[in-house]
Amino acid sequence: MAGDGSQTRSFLYVADLVEGVLRMAASDSPGPINVGSQHEISVLELAETNRRLARSNSEITFIARPTDDPTMLRPDTTLARELFSWKPTMPFEDGLKRTIAWFREQLKMPREV
């Protein structure tokens, strides 16, 4: 993990992204329009949550943070909400659980490691 993990990011489940893109494509708006999540978490919280949900004992390793690494990334999705009533519906942890399950299936891994 780069830095101390305090930088924040917003994560969006792929089905919510696809829905947002489809609504944007069907609209008359020329864009650009952000689709994304307003649920912002630290990179360290992401790593810890992923480790917990995957039932992993992997070590979280810290490296130097690049100078161009943003402190915060959260899209302004106001236009998507206003123009075509879009907002994400998948809670962060539920989406992460589904993502972990998908990777386990693709890699033919047991449910618990």
Could you tell me the CATH number of the domain that includes residue 20?
A: 3.40.50.720
pLDDT at 44: 97
72-102 burial, b for 16+ CB within 10 Å, e for fewer? Answer: eeeeebebbeeebebebebebeebbeebbee
CA separation for the pair 91, 26 (Å, rounded): 25
Residues 52-73, mean pLDDT to the nearest whole number:
93
pLDDT at 30: 87
Residue 1 is assigned to a structural domain of this protein:
no
Residue 59 is assigned to a structural domain of this protein:
yes
**Residue 28 CA to chain centroid, in angstroms?**
27
CA separation for the pair 42, 71 (Å, rounded): 9
Residue 98 is assigned to a structural domain of this protein:
yes
Residue 58 is assigned to a structural domain of this protein:
yes
Nearest to 9 by CA among 84, 79, 96, 108: 96
Residue 113 has pLDDT above 70, yes or no: no
Residue 78 has pLDDT above 60, yes or no: yes
Amino acid at 89: T
Residue 110 has pLDDT above 90, yes or no: no
Residue 113 is assigned to a structural domain of this protein:
no
CA count, 13 A, side-chain hemisphere, 15:
9
Instruction: List, for residues 88-103, the tens digit of each pLDDT value.
Output: 999 999 999 999 999 9
How many other CB atoms are found less than 10 A from the CB of residue 69? 12
pLDDT band at residue 111 using 50, 70 and 90 as cut-offs = low
Residue 32 is assigned to a structural domain of this protein:
yes
Instruction: List, for residues 4-54, the tens digit of each pLDDT value.
Output: 999 999 999 999 999 999 999 999 998 899 999 988 999 999 999 999 999
Residue 48 is assigned to a structural domain of this protein:
yes
Residue 76: domain span: 8-106
pLDDT at 112: 59
pTM listed for this prediction: 0.82
Domain count, the chain: 1
